[in-house]
Amino acid sequence: MLSRFKQYDLYRRIPKDLTETSAFGAVLSLCAVFFMAVLFAAELWAFLYSPVSTNVILDPNNDQMLRINFNITLLEIPCEYASIEVVDVLGTRKEDFTFGSYLNKWTVDSSGTRSVDRGYNHDLADLEHDEHNLEELHLNGVHVLPLDGNTFNRWIGDHTYTFVNFHSPWCSWCKLLDPVWEAFAERVVLDTIPVSVVQVDCIANGAVCEEQKVHAFPTLRLYKNGVVQSPDYRSDRTVDAFIDFVKSRLAKDEALSHLLPHEKTEHLEKEKDVNLHHHHPGCMLIGSILVNRVPGNFHINMKAKFQNIFPPMANLSHVVNSLTFGSQYSVGQTRDILATVPEQLVSEGNMHPLDTATFVNRQLHQAYHHYIKVVSTHVELSNKYLGSNAALLYQMVQSSQNMMYEETEIPEARFSYDISPMAVVVTRKGKHWYEFITSMCALIGGTFTVVGLISGFLNVIFKPKKI
């Protein structure tokens, strides 16, 4: 029974008595073993460390919305005038921030350090205006003193309190305010309030208004001994409201005079800091926007609800602290993802090409426009990020250009984006375990067979012939 079973042996051996060894065969055997060891090591390395490959495919992302994350500092625009709008090719226009989007504003000083949280960009409540007849008011004389470039600094320096109306002849809100301002000046004289009421035409005296950083008309600003008393007046434009405002400021200074010396010094230091921020206006915009996944742009411009913007003062110089697309990964997650990807395929520089870049306008009526091509990048290089859980990054290619505007136009810093319909997929092209075993069997068996054939061929050639 056993002898019959042995007939199925596929690996029959030749008896040692019928074989012979040779030094030449030993050399070939050692070479074969070395060669098989090298091939085994190479194949094992290829199995354990699979190469990274990239494919360009149609973007499989079905999301209808895309998040844009930004941190941008405006160097010359106060927060109360900074506004962001979104426009896309579908005709969508957003002038506010709805569900899923947010915007925080921070006042920054001359060094770029943020100091005061201005919160969300809420709309101002409607302002009340008095109705007065300017011609009838002028029958008692003109009580508002007009100042120009030659008299402005001397006047505000010589008077303890000066309430200034910076205006423009073409400003609609200024025309509405003119009779109220005259009535207010007349009331100040009648009530013997120690405040001089003046006005400055910013079109005729542009240098004065640029020096005083007047961004919109009308700007109502109180000076004390030539020093700005921040913030500017932004309440109701009625005679009673103006009277209440100046009386409250006078009462505040009266109370200050009765403070102890150290309390007075502390208060004046705080007031100095507030006035310093006024003379170095700047605003840091931090937030995110949800936009349609279509080409569009978001732009930063100047807006005021009850004022007209002064175009020469619309200096949109800015610093892009950060600008990214898509969901924000934590620093640790981003580091883990990028650690598995060769830098030539995905890098921090391609994901944040505008970060820390500064764009300064040296001339009036200019603003930078940025053009950004956004490419989706799906990274599938670890067990944590595979398939539908692939890490979705956005790489960008950008260019920037300084654009000229007409003198009557208000410049805007524009960020135009175009989302590529193609996506890059980064994967690791590895072998399955059964492919690795098959390759190893082929390498070992093939090497053994080839070396055996070479050995037999050489043995025939060099074996001594019998005569």
Q: Which of 110, 122, 98 is nearest to 283 (CA)?
A: 110
> What's the CA gap between 429 and 49, in Å, rounded?
9
**Span of 160-169, 180-189, 348-357, 451-460 with lowest mean pLDDT:** 451-460
Task: Let me know if 412 is exposed, middle or buried by CB neighbors in 10 A (0-12, 13-18, 19+).
Answer: buried
Task: Give the rounded percent of residues in the chain with a pLDDT score beyond 90.
Answer: 37
Please check the confidence at residue 96 and state whether its pLDDT lies above 70.
no
Alpha helices for 163-289 (secondary structure H): 172-190, 206-211, 239-257, 261-279
Q: Mean pLDDT throughout 452-467? A: 67
Query: In sequence order, what are the residues at sequence separation of 6 or more whose Cβ sits closer than 8 angstroms to the Cβ of residue 370?
Result: 354, 398, 399, 400, 413, 414, 415, 416
Q: Mean pLDDT throughout 316-334? A: 82
Q: Mean pLDDT throughout 232-255? A: 91
- 169, amino acid identity: P
Q: Mean pLDDT throughout 403-419? A: 92
Q: Mean pLDDT throughout 331-341? A: 68
Q: Which of 187, 172, 405, 423 is nearest to 309 (CA)?
A: 172
Q: Mean pLDDT throughout 76-84? A: 89
Q: Degrees (nearest 5) of the Cα angle 53, 56, 61?
A: 110
Please check the confidence at residue 126 and state whether its pLDDT lies above 90.
no
**Structural domains of the chain ordered from first start:** 22-50+432-462 (no CATH), 55-112+284-428 (no CATH), 134-279 (3.40.30.10)
pTM of the model: 0.76
Question: For residues 77 and 215, is the Cβ–Cβ distance under 8 A?
Answer: yes
Query: In sequence order, what are the residues at sequence separation of 6 or more whose Cβ sits closer than 8 angstroms to the Cβ of residue 373?
Result: 396, 397, 398, 417, 418, 420
Is the pLDDT higher at 273 or at 145?
145
Please check the confidence at residue 188 and state whether its pLDDT lies above 90.
yes
Supply the pLDDT for residue 10.
Answer: 60
